[in-house]
Amino acid sequence: MAVLLTGGAGYIGSHTAVELLSAGYQVVLADNFCNSSPQVPRRIEQLTGKPAPIYQLDVRDADALEQVFKENQVDAVIHFAGLKAVGESVERPLLYYRNNLDATLTLLEVMAKYSCHRLIFSSSATVYGDPERVPVNEDMPVGGCSNPYGRTKLMIEQILLDAAAADPGLSVVLLRYFNPVGAHPSGLLGEKPNGIPNNLMPYITQVAAGIRDHLNVFGNDYPTPDGTGVRDYIHVCDLAEGHLRALEYAETHRGAEAFNLGTGVGYSVLDVVHAFERANGLTIPLVFAPRRAGDLPAYWADAEKAARLLNWRTRRSLEQMCADSWRWQRNCD
């Protein structure tokens, strides 16, 4: 019995592969490497001492995907594959709709053909749009996403809910990630953004490495304790563990269920900068810049449902996220 990880060479997929292999699962990876490196499967094997077979394919290619199901007894799928850059999705919306929606539809069809009934989907806190209050819980309405990337997540959630409603044998878990950061403590796996990073943590690590001059803090006039934006940063290894718990849940529950994966704690941009400085003994030069278009002032997860039903809690501190991010930055060139 194997778990197929689409997008398994990517940032979150690779960390999840390590967790699954370490827990005794067999994994198969499928990735077209459009945003990852072919070296990643080898690093997963190096870390775990177990095989991580990789199929280089586009998940939209039904014939190639079928080959995976023919050659392996795929018992469950974790569907990470997708494009995720918010800004690019505004510039190239059709690319995002075509890639993210088609990949999911093709996957669902192939899964049905091979009687595979368990699916974990990488969704995002972005599906809540501009939430009416914080912390955000799973009963709050979804919608009002401000960009095509977010709308692909919303549409895929809806597709999966419909698929689960029509097939009582299907088990779907929608995992709504908050802000994944950090890297494997070995320094062998992490996220390597293309070009100028959009996200806070990789930007900070590039400033620390001298690649960028200073951090632009987008807005210091938000209605938050220090005026900067507040988010729920979660260590990617904690997030990876959440996928194990979701797989176990899906084994015993039918239908579709959504879970927030966050720590339940919000930190401001300045909190993150100061934690990074403390954890690594460095100073991060910063400049206050105007607010970034489309940013919300503050949101973080209500993580109670995942604690109660998945028996999952985060364990790693903000300092640990910062230390591991910096180790990876120094190793990844």
Residues that bind ligand UFG in the complex, under the rule CB under 6 A:
84, 86, 124-126, 150, 178-179, 198-200, 203, 215-218, 229, 231, 269, 292, 295
Rank residues 69 and 149 by Cβ distance to ligand UFG and give the closer one. Answer: 149
Question: How far is it, in rounded angstroms, from Cα 314 to Cα 241?
Answer: 9
- What are the strands, taking DSSP E only, across the chain? 2-6, 26-31, 54-56, 74-79, 118-124, 171-177, 179-181, 215-218, 230-231, 233-235, 255-261, 267-268, 286-289
- Could you give the 3-state DSSP secondary structure of residue 231? strand
Let me know if 285 is exposed, middle or buried by CB neighbors in 10 A (0-12, 13-18, 19+). exposed
Strand 230-231 to 26-31 pairing: unpaired
Contact partner at residue 59 from ligand UFG, ligand NAD, none, CB < 5 to 8 Å by partner kind:
ligand NAD
- Alpha helix segments (H runs only) across 9-126: 11-22, 40-48, 62-71, 86-91, 93-96, 102-113
List 96, 128, 149, 267, catalytic entry:
149
Least distance from ligand UFG to the Cβ atom of residue 178, Å: 6
Is residue 262 near ligand NAD by the rule CB under 6 A?
no
Q: How many beta carbons lie within 10 A of that of residue 95, not counting itself?
A: 13
Judged by CB under 6 A, how many residues of this single chain contact ligand NAD?
26
Q: Is 149 in the active site?
A: yes
User: In the range 169-188, which residues lie near ligand NAD by CB under 6 A?
Assistant: 177, 180
Rank residues 41 and 148 by Cβ distance to ligand UFG and give the closer one. Answer: 148
Rank residues 29 and 298 by Cβ distance to ligand NAD and give the closer one. Answer: 29
201 membership: H or E segment, kind and range:
helix 200-208
User: In the range 42-71, which residues lie near ligand NAD by CB under 6 A?
Assistant: 58-60
Stretch that binds ligand NAD, among 31-39, 131-139, 204-212, 287-295 (CB under 6 A): 31-39
Contact partner at residue 81 from ligand NAD, ligand UFG, none, CB < 5 to 8 Å by partner kind:
ligand NAD
Least distance from ligand UFG to the Cβ atom of residue 145, Å: 8
Is residue 35 near ligand NAD by the rule CB under 6 A?
yes
| H helix count then E strand count, the chain | 12, 13
Least distance from ligand UFG to the Cβ atom of residue 169, Å: 31
Is residue 263 near ligand NAD by the rule CB under 6 A?
no
Instruction: Give the residue numbers marked as catalytic.
Output: 149
